[in-house]
Amino acid sequence: MRMSSRLRQLGRERPVAITAVVSAIGYALVAGAFTGMIPLFPALGRDTVLLFGHLIAAVNTAALGAILLGVRYIKRDEVEKHRAAMLVAFALILVFLVLYLWKVGGGFEKSITASGLPKIAYLLMLAVHIFLSVVAVPVVLYAVVLGLSHTPAELRDTHHARVGRIAVATWSVSLALGVITYVLLNHVYGWEPRHATVLALVGVRPAVDRIVSALDPTA
């Protein structure tokens, strides 16, 4: 109980510092999984990697649904339901993170086998999805830290509402694009394994490079 109170007080006093530290840890874990520098994850077989991909899509869809419910609740001034929905969404994203890091660190990534406009559209959506995922991390964490460390009345005197709107926008669009690219990759077009390579800008640079190559045949 004392530890819980201490953490809550820390969240009230240093929300930016907590957000920065946790965000840095998250970025480091993702970078480590992609580069293989953090060997935390047991190797996965091909079937398990495919299963993880399906589970990730299901988790992201559920998280998106929880976010939209949370938005609906706060518009109705149902604060407790809003809080519960957003915490469910946050918990689902933590589940996603574990599955995704394990899938990348212990298995492999996929490349779409489509060509031409379908591939360009897919890569553009993937690039936006990755970019928004990176941007959303500190924004979502900051909103969550404020929400957990303040009462509803106290939150009115913080940046929670403004930051929350940004978090919802980036988070929900990223999740939606993630689900769309999953469907295109797994159920519309084919794919081939792409084993992890050195990460640049947490995956944004490689995606942009692939888009440029697709647009310029001479590249």
**Whole-angstrom Cα distance, residue 50 to residue 205?**
25
Q: Residue 144: is its pLDDT beyond 90?
A: yes
What local confidence, expressed as pLDDT, does residue 113 receive? 86
- Examine the pLDDT at 25 and tell me if it is beyond 70: yes
Q: In the predicted model, what is the mean pLDDT of the chain?
A: 84
Please state, for a pLDDT cut of 90, what percent of the chain lies above it.
Answer: 54
Residue 3 has pLDDT above 70, yes or no: no
Q: What angle do CA 67, 57, 20 make, to 5 degrees?
A: 55
End-to-end CA distance of the chain: give it in Å, rounded.
Answer: 60
Distance of alpha carbon 113 from alpha carbon 103, whole angstroms: 20
In single-letter form, the type of residue at position 187 comes to H
| Per-residue pLDDT, 9 | 82
As a whole-number percent, the residues of the chain with pLDDT over 70 amount to 86
pLDDT single digits (tens) 176-219: 999 999 999 998 998 888 754 433 333 444 443 443 344 443 33
Report the residue count for the chain: 219
Is the four-CA dihedral 104, 130, 110, 176 of positive or negative sign? Answer: positive
Q: Cβ(174)–Cβ(132) under 8 Å?
A: yes
Q: In degrees rounded to 5, what are phi and psi of residue 199? A: -90, 135
What is the average per-residue pLDDT within 81-94?
A: 95
Rounded distance, CA 109 to CA 162, Å?
Answer: 35
Task: Please list the residues that pair with 192 across neighbouring strands.
Answer: 111
Q: Give the mean pLDDT of 100-122.
A: 88
Residue with tokens 């915490």: 87
